[in-house]
Amino acid sequence: MKTARNAVKSEKLIKVLLRYDEQKKTIQSITIRGDFFLYPEDALEKLESSLVGVRLERSVLNKRVQEILQGAEPFGFTAESMTEAILGCLSKKIDRV
Amino acid sequence: MALDEVLLQNLDDIPILRLYGWNPPTVSIGYFQKMEDEVDVEMCKHLGIDVIRRLTGGGSVLHDSELTYSFLTRRYPQSIIESYKVICDAVIIALSKLGFNAKFSPLNDIVINGKKISGNAQTRKNGALLQHGTILLDVDFEKMFSVLKVTKEKIRDKMISDSKDRVIGLNKTYVETLSSLKNGFREKFAANLVSDTLTEDEKIRTKKLIKEKYSTTRWNLRL
């Protein structure tokens, strides 16, 4: 299992802490923080928990993020910019936890 | 913060405008931020600055020499950006009465000559909207950057010098700014402002919420 962080500024800043299975390329856990807005606010916890097990492949991840965010309204990011923020962790230096 | 939440829970058809300053100075972070990422909490303790996590999203702010408004209403545009524009317009009108040519800067700022004078943050619950925002009267950049954490990619001194080009204070008094802000909201919403006081129930619920939520490390530090 690997852990990596990424920070991306789209309209607002998205910071991601990602734990993932390097072999299966799936999300083990994810924490998303930043100065964005999301309505309702508890949609973020649902996003984080619903991404567990999802493959870190662009089209798969983007589709899943879009599905989870249906019914919620992000302000300061899009499903696409969130996907890129998450995938950007894969090219970052690995955290020694 | 607790009072904003109680007023939001209780809101009927009559909008509320709440105007206030900060004593002691306080750093607030947005709902989706993590205190340890954004704030030097030890430095805040050393300087006598409080810390709190807001019920609204957005970024971290040092509330010191400023006037803060909280506006609560059940009548607002569904579009988030339009609702920000409408409410920020009341602030812009207030600033024009003080002689400033201010503009709305998406997503949620107000600027004068390209420099940020006001940040705003909104939440919506059960059909009611709360938008609160700052109007900077003066800015102490040294203090700000001694308590707000700077990422590895940015150098503190550069941020201070850059911020002086991007953020300003009005250099007006609290009293005259407050008077203008009331007039701004009166004009924008064609409203009479009627002074009011908290009910006993609101006072009790606010104290309870402070004790159970806003003064806890569980809420503020997301533990």
pLDDT 10s digits, B105-118 = 999 999 999 889 99
List pLDDT tens digits, range A23-79: 999 999 999 999 999 999 999 999 999 999 999 999 999 999 999 999 999 999 999
Judge whether B33 lies within some domain.
yes
Question: How deeply is B159 buried, as exposed, middle or buried, from its count of CB atoms within 10 A (0-12, 13-18, 19+)?
Answer: middle
* DSSP state for residue B91 in the 8-state scheme: H
The ipTM assigned to this model is 0.93
Q: Which of B37, B58, B60 sits opposite A37 (nearest CB)?
A: B58
The domain total for chain B is: 1
pLDDT at residue number A1: 87
Nearest residue of B to residue A34 by CA position?
B33
Contact criterion met (CB < 8 Å) for A34 and B107: no
Digit-coded pLDDT (tens) for B56-83: 999 999 999 999 999 999 999 999 999 9
For residue B112, the enclosing domain spans 2-192
In a domain, B112, yes or no: yes
Tell me the pTM: 0.93
Asked, for residue B217, whether it belongs to a domain, the answer is: no
Asked if residue B205 is part of any domain, the answer here is no
Asked if A11 lies within 8 A of B56 by C-beta distance, the reply is no
Q: CATH code at B160?
A: 3.30.930.10
Q: How far is CA B164 from CA B25, B58, B59, B136, B210, in A?
A: 20, 21, 18, 13, 35
* Nearest CA-CA distance, residue B176 and chain A, Å: 31
Which has the closest alpha carbon to A32: A5, A55, A58, A10? A5
Contacting A residues, span 17-76, partner chain B, CB-CB under 8 Å: 32-41, 44, 73, 75-76
* pLDDT at res. B125: 94
Domain assignment of residue B72, yes or no: yes
Question: Which residue of A41, A44, A75 is in closest CB contact with B80?
Answer: A75
**Gap from A69 CA to chain B (nearest CA, Å):** 16
Predicted confidence at residue B153, as pLDDT, reads: 44
Q: Which domains does chain A have, with CATH numbers?
A: 2-91 (3.30.390.50)
Q: For residue A74, what is the enclosing H or E element?
A: strand A73-75
B223 is a domain residue: no
pLDDT of residue B193: 96
Beta bridge partners of A34: A14
Strands B50-53 and B26-29: parallel
**Predicted local confidence at residue B160, as pLDDT:** 61
| pLDDT < 70 positions in chain B | 150-161, 164-165
Task: Compare CB distances from B80 to A13, A40, A73 and report the shortest one's residue.
Answer: A73
In a domain, residue B200? The reply is: no
Beta bridge partners of B39: B148
d(CA A35, CA A44): 13
Does B198 map to a domain?
no
Instruction: Show the 3-state SS of A3-44.
Output: EEEEEEECCCEEEEEEEEECCCCEEEEEEEEECCEEECCCHH
Cβ distance B103 to B125 under 8 Å? Answer: no
The answer to whether residues B133 and B139 touch, using CB atoms and an 8 Å cutoff, is: no
Q: Which residue has the tokens 């919403």?
A: B189
